[in-house]
Chains A and B, each alone.
Chain A
Amino acid sequence: MKKLAVCGAALAALWASAAAAHHSAAPFDFQQRVTIEGVVKEFNVQNPHTYAVVTISDAKGTRDVEYEGHSASNFYRAGYRRDTVKPGDKIAILIAPRHDGGDGGFINAFTVNGKTVGFGGLSPSTGKPVADGASGDAAPPASK
């Protein structure tokens, strides 16, 4: 697991406001971003929150880790389509990690099969903000 040095004040403020109203906010530290890589076991794009299980391997060993993400409509607005992610795909996910340092996190962007889907946050491939055009349309990044 490699940490990207990303604590942009603007981004943090944006995410603090986005996350404040929603139940997913509490466990996650939206002022940090971490990239994880693994193999998709389950990727359920649903409302109110997407649920994913990714098999990751690192110094702690190989295990299945659960991740939470935006709503299905936000995934589609960001460019996700029904065949974008399949079980068995290799995936890199930029996450807001858990406050408690445990496995898991909130999906901010991901790259799979050469396609990157971001939610107005940072690209996992570059660690830089995803351009407006890459997130599908002019809608603000949204969380729920």
Chain B
Amino acid sequence: MSNKRMIAHARIALSAALLAVCAASSAAEKERPDFTGVWTTYREPGQTGFGGGFGRGQAQLPFTAEGQRRRDDYQKLLGPERANPAAYCVDYGMPTMMESAGGYPIELIQKPDQLTIIYEVEGEMRRVYIGERQLAPADRLPSRHGYSKGHWDGDVLVVETTDLLDGVDQSQHPHSDQATIVERFSLGTDAKGAKVISYEMALTDPIYYTEPVKTARKWAPLDGFIIPYRCVDEFWLALLDLRRAQLKAGKPADARMSDVYKAREAKE
């Protein structure tokens, strides 16, 4: 066989293999909803302002006495300026990140074994591991986003989040490190046929609540992009500016990050 013919045969074989793989992969994807995309808070026709869980207070939450005490103690720390994590470029954490704090868009990237969720603010990210491959419970480092394990209940992606750090600073649903969050994501359409993600969240925490706290919301596709948002960068750049000013004044460039904070707080 000539070289040209061998190459042609190889191309045909490779193409057939690729087609088979792509077809199989496509068939597998069709079985599950695909949440991939950039989403914004869904608003019912005629609804203005914020949808979803935004804007609700904590007054109606079924706090235990201990939960109420912890919540009240935290409120005493906030001061007249009503300090909050985001003002200091700290990630919102769970569940605030999913409650569209500030009303920013959210991006979902879905693979068969992982749903990656990125909130515009700080590019805050969480990963939901779907299927058999999971980190052993003993190996999980507690974090503000916890460890999220997903499985399919028909066409609904069910996500259980555990291994959370204490969340006393969560804006609407504070919780302890004993909390478990169960979310249900499903994909549908509204009356106009546009895609909608329906989302339910149940927060269980024996320390904070006498019963599970449940919320629901929807997201609509956003015809736009996630825009870069890196608040913490500003502090580093401000430190460089302070040191430039020192050098210009003939002084050693030894400003500290505490000086950046002082300068910022002086403006508040």
Within 8 A of A (CB), among B30-53: 40-41, 43, 48-51
Give A1-58 interface residues, CB cut-off 8 Å to B: 10, 13-14, 16-18, 20-27, 46-48, 51
A61 within 8 A of B: no
Determine whether the beta carbon of A10 is less than 8 Å from that of B48.
yes
Contact of B40 (CB < 8 Å), options: A21, A48, A140, A144: A140
Q: B154-162, B195-203, B229-237, B244-252: which lies at the A interface? A: B229-237
Which residues does chain B contribute within 8 Å of A131, judged by CB atoms?
none
Smallest CB gap from A137: residue in B:
B224
Are B222 and A26 interface neighbours, CB within 8 A? no
Report if B121 contacts A (CB, 8 A): yes
The interface size bin for chain B is 35 or more
**Contacts of A112 on B, CB cut-off 8 Å?**
none
Chain A residues with CB under 8 Å of B234's CB are: 46-47
Q: Collect the chain A residues with CB atoms within 8 Å of residue B229's CB.
A: 47, 71-73
- A139 CB contacts on chain B under 8 angstroms: 40, 103-105, 222, 224
Q: What count of chain A residues pass the 8 Å CB interface test?
A: 34
Q: Select which of A13, A47, A76 is within 8 A of B49 by beta carbon.
A: A13
Question: Main SS of chain B's interface residues?
Answer: loop
Q: Is B192 engaged at the interface, CB distance under 8 Å to the other chain? A: no
- Nearest-neighbor residue (CB-CB) of B49 within chain A: A14
Interface hits, B62-113 → A, CB 8 Å: 80-84, 86-87, 89, 101-105
When distances are taken between beta carbons in the complex, the residues of chain B under 8 Å from A48 are: 86-87, 89, 231
| Residue A134 lies at the interface, judged by CB distance under 8 Å to chain B | no
Interface: B131 (CB within 8 A): no
Query: Which residues on the A side are within 8 Å of B101 (C-beta)?
Result: 21, 144
Tell me if B102 and A21 are in contact (CB < 8 A).
yes
Contact partners of B40 in chain A: CB under 8 A: 138-140
Question: Are A140's CB and B43's CB within 8 A?
Answer: yes
Q: How far is the CB of B54 from chain A (nearest CB, A)?
A: 6
- B84: contacting residue among A17, A23, A72, CB under 8 A: A23
User: Is B133 an interface residue when CB atoms closer than 8 A count as contact?
Assistant: no
Kindly state whether residue B223 has any CB partner on chain A within 8 Å. yes
Query: Closest approach, in angstroms, between the C-beta of B42 and any C-beta of chain A?
Result: 10
B220 lies within 8 A of chain A by Cβ: yes
CA distance A20 to B54 in the complex (A): 10
Per-residue CB proximity of A49-88 to B under 8 Å, as 1/0?
Answer: 0010000000000000010000111101100000000000
Contact B102 A143 (CB under 8 A): yes
Residues of A near B224 (CB, < 8 A) are 77, 136-139
A142 interface contact, C-beta 8 A: yes
Q: Does A141 contact B (CB under 8 A)?
A: yes
Known: A10-B49, A73-B229. A22 touches B84 (CB 8 A): yes
Q: Name A's B-contacting residues (CB within 8 A).
A: 10, 13-14, 16-18, 20-27, 46-48, 51, 66, 71-74, 76-77, 136-144
- Which B residues fall within an 8 A CB radius of A? 40-41, 43, 48-51, 54-55, 80-84, 86-87, 89, 101-105, 120-121, 171, 220, 222-224, 227-231, 233-234, 267-268
